[in-house]
Amino acid sequence: MDHLFKKLDTDKQKRIINASLYVFSINDFKHALTDDIAARAQISKGSLFQYFKNKVSLYIYLYHFSLEQLGQQVNEQFNFTERDFFELQYKGIELKINLYKSYPYLNQFVIQANTETNPDIACAIADINDNTKRHYVQKIYEDIDDEKI
């Protein structure tokens, strides 16, 4: 269903993504209301469900999207041969600032998603993390020089 979402103009996509990131970042899954997402995105709730099958599919889409954005920033900004811990930390902060400009609630959403207690969401997030997130963390920090620490 999210293929219909990808056909929307980018401004509308961004409104829906940012509204969803906001609502899901300040609430746990159970208390995040699709009514609030639709209102904040300035669309009808029915439109939201034209693009996503249900709240779970929206949440999972957002998590994948968030990791894609993070991964893209990592690939563009990180020097994978850098070994200085503090330089890597600086680059991490820079990455978050750049993401914040387009998606202000993305980092908070990722943090919230990783503390989610809803069993279906928690299981899905764990599966996604096993396949995606660890790769970048290992790649960035595998040869770190800890002499300055």
Segments forming the whole domain that contains residue 78 = 2-141
Of 3-7, 81-85, 138-142, 145-149, least confident by mean pLDDT is: 138-142
Any domain includes 97: yes
Output the pLDDT for position 23.
Answer: 98
CATH number of the domain at 90, please: 1.10.357.10
Residue 91 has pLDDT above 90, yes or no: no
Any domain includes 91: yes
pLDDT tens for 102-141 read 899 999 999 999 999 999 999 999 999 987 755 555 665 5
Any domain includes 33: yes
Instruction: Kindly write down the DSSP assignment for every residue of 81-141, as one continuous string.
Output: T--BHHHHHHHHHHHHHHHHHH-TTHHHHHHHHTT---HHHHHHHHHHHHHTHHHHHHHHH
pLDDT tens for 20-52 read 999 999 999 999 999 999 999 999 999 999 999
Any domain includes 35: yes
Any domain includes 28: yes
CB 141, CB 89: distance < 8 Å: no
Output the pLDDT for position 73.
Answer: 82
- Total-model pTM: 0.83
Cα distance between residue 40 and residue 17, in whole Å: 10
Any domain includes 148: no
- Model confidence at 142, pLDDT cuts 50, 70, 90, reads low
- Model confidence at 58, pLDDT cuts 50, 70, 90, reads very high
- The total domain count for the chain is 1
